[in-house]
Amino acid sequence: MRFIYDISFFCLITVIFLNIIFGIIIDTFGGLRDEKNAMSEDMKQKCYICGLDRVFFDKDCGGFDNHIEKDH
C-alpha cells in the first residue's frame, strides 16, 4: 500500500510541476510573439528614421510609401 501511495504522489507532483514549467515556457513564447507583432506593426505605421506616423505622410507629404522609398 505504501508503494502505491509513493508512486501516486510522485506522479501527481511530477505532473503538476511539469505543467507549471510548460505553462511558463508557453507564456514566454506568447509574449515574444506579441512583442514581434507589435514591432512589425510599428514598422508598418512609422518611419523608423523620422519617427513620424503614417498618417502624417499620407495627409501632407505625398504618401508614406513615397517617403520611405524616395526620402530615405
pTM of the model: 0.59
67: number of Cβ within 10 Å:
19
Enter the C-alpha cell of residue 10. 510522485
pLDDT in tens, the chain (72 residues): 889 988 888 888 899 999 999 999 999 999 999 999 999 998 888 887 887 888 888 777 778 888 888 877
What pLDDT is stored for residue 36 in this prediction?
96
* Residue 65: predicted pLDDT: 82
Q: Is 1 exposed, middle or buried (0-12, 13-18, 19+ CB in 10 A)?
A: exposed
Q: Are 20 and 30 in contact (CB under 8 A)?
A: no
Residue 17: predicted pLDDT: 93
